[in-house]
Amino acid sequence: MKRRLPLILISPDIQEKGKEFEDLSISLSHNYERALEHAGMLPLTMPATVSGDLIAECVRHCDGVLLTGGDDLDPRLYGDGLEPPVERTVAVCPDGGRRDLRELMLIDEVFRQRKPLLAICRGHQMLNVALGGTLIADIPQQLPGALNHRRLDKRSEIVHEARLTPGSFLAKIAVEPMLGVNSTHHQAVDKVAPPLRVSAASTDGVVEGLELKPKAADWLPFLLSVQFHPERLEDRYREHRAIFLAFAAACAAGRNRVI
């Protein structure tokens, strides 16, 4: 008899019309699938639906959910408007807000069904907004003197360090007090959502990791969100592989059938 691999529902990015096909299409970096497979999980891409019934059914069939990176969130989700110079830097998903809506519904369903959740980059920001937090819309303009967090030239390389909060879940996973991270974003968490706490921050104060506060820790069996991209680093760095192994363990513990 063989144990079933944990099935992980991945929320994909959306590509604009004409970039590959004549209509909108889903897009997913192979790095996400590779990282999940390396940690003993079975990845499954989520359909681009905004049907509440279908989203609930997707979550019901999976053992864990992964929120991925991509374009910016619609700023109307977390604020009353941006100054024009800042607003011009925002590049929202080209599907008219359907990805934003889908992931808000997905997060709500994950909490309702209590499934493990790992959120990366845009997913990290979406989780914070979904739970009542806000975002910095453009780091260069709104945080003068901050590090360069948009190192697109080194997407899969360590470019700066993040200090891990002592006693946090992420600190226990990584073991070390500092974690080297990659960085390809221009937005960041601003006001942290009430149920969450910071588990990692870069030297300029940008939030690099979030987790549930102790009083909310039993809301989900696993929740971790990170601003960096561990899926691009896990093949070379033990600390980043450990994130996926911890996620896999939580997913396997929740549902492990034999086939």
The gap from C-alpha 126 to its chain's centroid, in whole angstroms, comes to: 8
Q: Find residue 118's DSSP bridge partners.
A: 66, 224
> Which of 240, 237, 232, 225 minimizes the C-alpha distance to 65?
225
Q: Which of 103, 109, 208, 231 is catalytic?
A: 231
Give the span between the Cα atoms of 71 and 100, in whole angstroms.
Answer: 10
Q: Model confidence over 119-163: pLDDT tens digits?
A: 999 999 999 999 999 999 999 999 999 999 999 999 999 999 999
* Residue predicted with more confidence, 174 or 15: 174
Q: Which CATH class is domain 7-254?
A: alpha beta
The answer to whether residue 57 is catalytic is no
The answer to whether residue 62 is catalytic is no
* Residue predicted with more confidence, 247 or 22: 247
The letter for the amino acid at 26 is: I
CA angle 186, 192, 195 (to 5 degrees): 140
Q: Model confidence over 175-227: pLDDT tens digits?
A: 999 999 999 999 999 999 999 999 999 999 999 999 999 999 999 999 999 99
Q: Which of 58, 93, 121, 251 is catalytic?
A: 121
Q: In the prediction, which pLDDT does 119 show? A: 98
3-state secondary structure of 151: coil
Residue 257 has pLDDT above 50, yes or no: no
Q: Model confidence over 1-40: pLDDT tens digits?
A: 567 899 999 999 988 765 666 778 788 999 999 999 999 9
The answer to whether residue 231 is catalytic is yes
Q: Widest CA span of the chain, in angstroms? A: 61
